[in-house]
Amino acid sequence: MSDINWDKIYNQYPVNQTSIWLNNCGTTPAGSHIIEAVTGYIHEYSRKGVFSEKYALSKVKNSIQAILSELLNCDIQDIALIHNTAEGMNFISRGLSLNPGDEILLMENEYPSNVYPWEHWQNKGITIKFIASAFSPGEFIHNFKAALTDKTKLVSLSAVHWCTGLPLPIKEIGKICQERAIDFCVDGAQGAGHVKIDVNNWGISYLSFSAWKWLLGPLGLGVLVIPEKNVKKLEPVFKGTGSVAKPQEYLPYQKELIPGVERYMFSTPNFIDWIYFLSSLEFLQKIGFERIMERIYRLSRYLTEKLMDSGFTVLSKSYLNRDYKNLESAIVLVGKEKWDVNAAQRELSSNNIITAVRLDHLRMAPHIYNSFDQLDKVIELLNGSPKNP
């Protein structure tokens, strides 16, 4: 990684002038390259409107899809741009055909975007069961197998747990689902750009995620990935001018839908978000997604080791390399005996350090624009943080 100038990347993010942003698994700020791209588009739109050659809608869409298809190992035509994870999950859930007595498996303490979209099935004779939490992939696989029954028809899990940072064994779970002809849905919000996801080889039936976490994209933009063979299994939830086979032909009205997942891009998008997202993806692609993962893991390891040396408990450390070799996560969940975690977060916030409290622990998640000097300041402040009386 010696050829990457991390100081230059640090300086490319104006947030570093005012804050230390360590909630990158929540939301992420914009870099100067994104400001330049969006500003360039606005200037071009003011002169040419929708007839800009540089920012043609199809050109931007295809570029986004091409980068994501390489990152996720899926086909370009299997990617749709939507608004958020929950929207994608609802498209999937509302489009499925299940029968009374069937079962859906979710994860205990899952993020609501991967719970609420499935709840309507409970009124239709479908049972929703929850897999017990785990602190290692091996333990989770054990709990997953114990929860499976002959009635299980769909499993929907996050690639990475939003609180603990545990990367789930998606590859192994996908194989089990394939063997049992179970649909496998993945919430990739905490996974895309953070851990490896291989749609074509891991038996993933459906994948939905937001753009504004590890991919450093805009709020309000999401991605839905569905191989065409699985799109055919879903009844469409909405229909608009963008859903039909010939979207540029308005009359006569059309019955035939686009055969692939782009049928869910059913109307005019927020195109500025696409410009923002493409700028971010091109920036990340230029660095290299594997190098990005190495960098964020290195930052999180440094933070973890320094805090453990100071007597803190790092919950995420309990699963790293416990069952699986080279298991990594950039989400660091920190606790300490008789420690007032809420007071500690307020102290950090008063020093413009952005973190979150999850499961009565402090959650931190560095990204490539963060520095080791920033982490040293955080560690220093935490070492002086208040205890519970």
Distance CA 115, CA 109 (A): 10
The distance between the two most distant Cα atoms of the chain, rounded to a whole number of Å, is 73
pLDDT at 1: 43
pTM: 0.95
In the listed set 284, 312, 339, which residue is the last one of a domain according to the structure? 284
Cβ 343 vs Cβ 385: under 8 Å: yes
Residue 305: CB partners within 8 Å, gap ≥ 6?
Answer: none
pLDDT at 266: 95
Question: Are 192 and 208 part of one and the same domain?
Answer: yes
Cβ 369 vs Cβ 287: under 8 Å: no
pLDDT at 3: 85
Question: Are 294 and 274 part of one and the same domain?
Answer: no
Pick from 209, 195, 265, 212: nearest CA to 237? 265
CATH number at residue 79: 3.40.640.10
Pick from 103, 205, 94: nearest CA to 153? 103
Domain assignment present for 59: yes
Q: pLDDT under 70 in the chain at which residues?
A: 1-2, 317-326, 385-389
Interval 253-280: pLDDT, tens = 999 999 999 999 999 999 999 999 999 9
Question: Are 148 and 175 part of one and the same domain?
Answer: yes
Domain assignment present for 388: no
Question: Are 309 and 264 part of one and the same domain?
Answer: no
Question: Are 336 and 270 part of one and the same domain?
Answer: no
DSSP labels, 233-299: TS--S---TTTBSSTT--SS---PBPSSGGGG--S---HHHHHHHHHHHHHHHHH-HHHHHHHHHHH
Distance CA 348, CA 268 (A): 41
Domain assignment present for 166: yes
Domain that holds residue 222: 39-284
